[in-house]
Structure 1
């Protein structure tokens, strides 16, 4: 039986991703919270925002408030966003009629930050997210775009060889094959195959976006996938 081969591209390839096309009206989005207790910061009272709950106190004074992730990004067993991270962000859909494209331009976390880091369990590559919408704060769309761009980066042969078990390596190889074989158009199929294995294949098929939760490190968020 002939041996199976995995291709590795000579250059790193990543594709730009844009804001998904959602046409629903703006309203509140169901709130969800992550499994960890968020760190606290000293800040002024936040302004009212579509993606965040209103604070209980109204006095204008400094006091500790938790950093909160936007509801579209919050970890949940039933996230409001339907997204396969192996695909372009243009494939994002939602079953909630209240979500609009404006929500994707809102701060990813509150208080807003100019950068943050996302870590995926069992993957060695942290994902750095920088503010791109206005240069001031990371938006919801910045997070989705950075995740997609990072996971589309080519893996190297040494990274593949570093997989701890043959069983896991086979699962990664199968994920790579399934990714290009799902393309129906011949030229797209061949182009995707020729580009070789990518970091997304190391997820071994667990590519459904489930949201972000806090980690034990300030500024670092954990991306959950299923």
Structure 2
């Protein structure tokens, strides 16, 4: 899979009453501890009081409880998927021997849903995922795609200046520089640099996918 785009075979939009071949699991989240970079650091990552607690999020009407998550997405200290969310989904690899690419077109959760919302701890932006592959239910690939695309959005000036300290601003700046400097192609390097800060930079390097679990009725993405 690495370095190759995944092509998904068409599948029936009618989901069977039984759980699909790959396992699904229901878990809870384990406890866990835009603009161009300006010439000077701002006084102020958004502070924690701007971040709504997961218990405050409305339970999505699009999925019932209990809900099970696809094994490719399930939280684990050793996830099946190896993915850096700052990179395109074509870079996804897996430790699952003999995994078929059609697994990525299976429902992300069971029972299947047409949409879901994902939160990242200490990250002010929620990620909305909608069924795009088949128009009926969110697939595993829809989740990975939505996470990547959401984190690629530019940061507004207001969001940037909401960073509470120079120390936090420096971490964001370093994440931004690391992101474009890793590109070897000169044109790609310049293009990425000129696009400025993105939401992914606010993760300050914690971009390794660890999986999804539920907390307070919301889906939470763990990263390391």
Measured against the shorter chain, the TM-score band is: 0.7 to 0.9
2: CA distance between counterparts of 1:102 and 1:131? 16
Q: CA deviation at 1:48?
A: 3.5
Structure 2 spans left out of the alignment, 5+ residues: 8-15, 26-63
In the alignment, which of 18, 39, 52 is matched to residue 47 of structure 1? 18
* Equivalent residue number for residue 106 of structure 2: 106
Inter-CA distance 127–95: structure 2 relative to 1 (3 Å threshold): same
1: CA distance between counterparts of 2:214 and 2:158? 31
Secondary structure of residue in 1 paired with 2:119: strand
Q: CA deviation at 1:20?
A: 4.8
Structure 1 length normalisation: TM-score?
0.73
Secondary structure of residue in 1 paired with 2:150: helix
How is 1:19-30 mapped onto 2 (pairs within 5 angstroms)?
20-21=5-6
Are residues 1:201 and 2:189 paired? no
Asked whether the 8 Å contact 1:20–1:92 carries over to 2, the reply is no
Q: CA deviation at 1:98?
A: 2.9
- What does the per-residue CA deviation read over 1:31-84, in whole Å, with 9 as the maximum and x for residues that have no partner? xxxxxxxxxxxxxx9314122359xxxxxxxxx973100000000000010000
Are residues 1:149 and 2:153 paired? no
Secondary structure of residue in 2 paired with 1:66: coil
Secondary structure of residue in 1 paired with 2:175: helix
Asked whether the 8 Å contact 1:20–1:101 carries over to 2, the reply is no
* Equivalent residue number for residue 221 of structure 1: 219
Q: CA deviation at 1:166?
A: 1.3
Q: How many residues align?
A: 176
Greater length-normalized contact order (CA 8 Å, ≥ 6 residues apart): 2
Larger Rg: 1
1: CA distance between counterparts of 2:180 and 2:136? 37
1: CA distance between counterparts of 2:68 and 2:98? 20
Q: CA deviation at 1:112?
A: 0.4
Q: CA deviation at 1:134?
A: 1.2
Q: CA deviation at 1:156?
A: 1.4
Structure 2 length normalisation: TM-score?
0.74
1: CA distance between counterparts of 2:144 and 2:206? 16
Structure 1 spans left out of the alignment, 5+ residues: 1-18, 23-44, 55-63
1: CA distance between counterparts of 2:19 and 2:85? 30
1: CA distance between counterparts of 2:203 and 2:24? 33
Inter-CA distance 125–53: structure 2 relative to 1 (3 Å threshold): closer
2: CA distance between counterparts of 1:91 and 1:84? 8
